[in-house]
Structure 1
């Protein structure tokens, strides 16, 4: 094991201890491949699954695996239905068994920082789905909430707006312009200090750099 990998594992262990104090279940996966396998072990036959937009989930291959699976999962895939049908589908997503996402940032003391445009992802994080599984690379770890918000605005949002084809200052200049544009993806900020339902939120920390 490399020195960097060992440091990642050591850090993850300490953060998982903080998660436990907050009613959040924490896990560590050494690699993206291990994380992919770990996530799938949570799903019982016949469960319903959905997810929020996430480069991390794409990078570990989870979305492709779910879409190609011959298992009897019920998938609520927003991208697989016409735009005019997505609002109706969302009413099913909020009641799904497992909602998958990443986190924009995670503090050393186990708080989750997430910033959204529409807010559908963070709404499901807060309430609705029976279980929320978060997959996050160790590059998402920050010292505190303020650093996490800064990371999201200046280092996660710019590539995300480029990916989504948004017309925002951060897409043009690569850094936050504190905009209020129609295409702004930083409209809603949620800090998760604690899970009121113990174990509902499960965080898999991955010993790699993943996502934005």
Structure 2
């Protein structure tokens, strides 16, 4: 990344952070993932129930492994070899975690957090249930406004995610949204957080690198 890319990421990231703070979120910008990892892992402690919302970004940062090293209790429906009922039970447990860690499909420069979910577990946990929510996202997910966020969600994040999960949807074939009725459609519950949910302390961490989808 050139110095100009670093500068631009910082300017854009800090602008989004400023708006998010005005909307009640505890927001931070870090230029590198190493700085963000240090900030997040400092919040881990033995016995803390830490849940993960199926985030590729969190996986890229190695947060699950760091939480495990800190002797946290890990709650993660993405573990291999789980039955469907076991996965659903763990999703419900995630709502009662001490810390819920996820990413977002898009963040806006005017301070909104925009997501779509298939089961609804991720967006539900962002709104109410966990004692604290940490949303971590790369600078690639910051867009101008809610209209741009929905466009990013439909035509970038969702198709890539459906392809990653090997879902039988039109967007996993041609990379664009068809607003389909496919049985395996992953965009079923849409949320826009324009202010921090009333009883959910929420950190939003923007990293000046491309992460996730």
1:51-130 pair list within 5 angstroms: 51-66=52-67, 69-80=68-79, 81-130=82-131
Equivalent in the alignment of 1:148 = 149
CA distance, structure 1, for counterparts of residue 134 and residue 111 of structure 2: 15
Equivalenced residue count is 210
CA drift of 1:199 comes to 7.2
Whether the aligned pair in 2 keeps the contact of 1:95 and 1:128 (CA below 8 Å) is yes
Equivalent in the alignment of 2:25 = 24
**Deviation digits for residues 90-139 of structure 1 (CA, Å, limit 9, x no counterpart):** 33211111000001001111100001111110000011001110110111
TM-score (norm 2): 0.92
Whether the aligned pair in 2 keeps the contact of 1:23 and 1:197 (CA below 8 Å) is no
Give the unaligned 5+ runs of structure 1: none
User: Which has the higher mean CA deviation after the structures are superposed, 139-148 or 72-81?
Assistant: 72-81
**Deviation digits for residues 75-98 of structure 1 (CA, Å, limit 9, x no counterpart):** 112133443223333332111110
Give the unaligned 5+ runs of structure 2: none
1:151-162 pair list within 5 angstroms: 151-162=152-163
Question: How much is the aligned-residue C-alpha RMSD, in angstroms?
Answer: 1.7
**Deviation digits for residues 144-202 of structure 1 (CA, Å, limit 9, x no counterpart):** 10110110110111111111010000001111111111010111100000113477110
User: Which has the higher mean CA deviation after the structures are superposed, 150-159 or 27-36?
Assistant: 27-36
- SS of 1:79's partner is coil
Decide whether aligned partners of structure 1 residues 199 and 116 sit closer, same or farther in structure 2, where only a CA change above 3 A counts: closer
CA distance, structure 2, for counterparts of residue 163 and residue 3 of structure 1: 31
Whether the aligned pair in 2 keeps the contact of 1:23 and 1:198 (CA below 8 Å) is no
CA distance, structure 1, for counterparts of residue 5 and residue 78 of structure 2: 37
